[in-house]
Amino acid sequence: MSRFTLDQEIRLVQDEMLLLGSLAEQAILNSVDALRRQDVAAARTIALEDKKINDKHFAIENHILIIFATQSPLARDLRLLAAMLEIITELERIGDYAKGIAKVAIRLADDETPVPIQEISTMADKATSMLHRALGAFISEDVTAAYAIPKEDDEVDALYITVYRKIVQNMIKNPESIDHTNQILWVIHNLERTADRVTNICERIIFIVSGELLELDSSDDEDQDV
C-alpha cells in the first residue's frame, strides 16, 4: 500500500474520532440541560443518541484494526492509531456518563426539590470545554496544551467537593431527601469522571508526539477521597 493511502486512512479515522468527540461533548451538555429543564423527552433522546455513540465507537475501532491488518503502520503512524484506539474508548465512556445523567434527569423530572444546577452546569461546561480543547490539541499535536489542560481538572474536583459537602449536609438535615441526593451525587460523579477521562486523552497526545506513556494526574482515581 502506498504512503498516500495510509495518510488518507489516518485522516479519515481522525475525522471520525473528532465527530465522536463532538457527539460525546454535546451529549454531556444536553443531559445537564435536560436536568435543568426537567425535560423528559430531551433526556430520552440522549439515551437513544448513546446508541449512535456506541456504534460509531465500534465502527472506528474496526477501521483502525483493518488498517493495522492491511497496512502494517510503523513508528508515529502506529502510535497515532494506537492512541486513537484508546481515545475513542474514553469518548465512548463519556457518552455513557451523559446517558447516566439523562437517566437521573428522567427520575427527577417530577421532583420539585431544588437541584444545585448552577454548580452542575459549571462542572459540565468546564469538563466539555476541556474535552473540546484536548481534541483540538490532538489535531495540532500541541503538547503544551496537553500538559496544561489536565491541571484544570482541579477546578472540576473543587466544584465536586463543594457540591458534595452541600448535598451531604442537606441529606443529614432532611433524611427523606436521601434518594434525591443520591441521584445528584451520581450526576456530579459522572461529570467529575468526564474531566478525568480528558486527562487520559491528554496523556495519549503526549504519547503520540514523544512516545512516552506517563500519568499526568495522580488524583485520577476511581475511589478518591472527598
Partner 1 sequence: MKMRIHSRIAWPFILTLVLTLAIWLIAVPLLEKSAYQKALINGVPVDLSFVQNTAIVISLTGLIVGLSISLIYTNRYVDDLKTLTEAAKELGEGKNQEINLLPMQNSLREMGELREALQKTAHQIEDQINALSKERAMLSAVLRQMTDGVLIADSSGKVQLLNDAAEKLFMISEEEALGRSVVEVMRHHRLVELWEETRDGPAKTITMEMGAMHKFLQVVGIPLGEELPGRSMLLFQDLTQTHRLETIRRDFISNISHELRTPMAGLKAISETLLDGALEDRTVARNFVVRMDSEVDNLTQMVNELLELSRIEAGRFNFDYQRIEPYRLMQKPVERMVLQAERVNLTLSYDCPVDLPLVFADPERISQVFINLIHNAIKFTPNGGRIHVTAYQDGHMVVFKVSDTGVGIAEKDITRIFERFYKADRARSGGGTGLGLSICRHIVDAHGGKIWAESVENEGSDFYFSLPVVYGEN
- Give the interface with partner 1 as residue ranges (CB under 8 A): 11, 14-15, 18-19, 21-23, 25-26, 29, 118, 121-122, 124-126, 128-129, 132, 135-136, 139-140
Q: Which is nearer to partner 1, 37 or 189 (CB)?
A: 37
DSSP 8-state secondary structure symbol assigned to residue 149: G
Q: Which is nearer to partner 1, 36 or 44 (CB)?
A: 36
Q: Which is nearer to partner 1, 18 or 85 (CB)?
A: 18
Instruction: Find where cell 495510509 sits.
Output: 6
Q: How far apart are CA 60 and CA 19, in angstroms?
A: 11
Of 32, 170, 40, nearest to 94 by C-alpha is 32
Minimum distance, C-beta of residue 72 to partner 1, in the bound complex (Å):
25
**Helices and strands: H and E segment counts in the chain:** 7, 0
Minimum distance, C-beta of residue 77 to partner 1, in the bound complex (Å):
18
Minimum distance, C-beta of residue 114 to partner 1, in the bound complex (Å):
8
Q: Which is nearer to partner 1, 45 or 107 (CB)?
A: 45
Of 44, 29, 177, 191, nearest to 111 by C-alpha is 177
Minimum distance, C-beta of residue 201 to partner 1, in the bound complex (Å):
14
Q: How far apart are CA 24 and CA 30, in angstroms?
A: 10
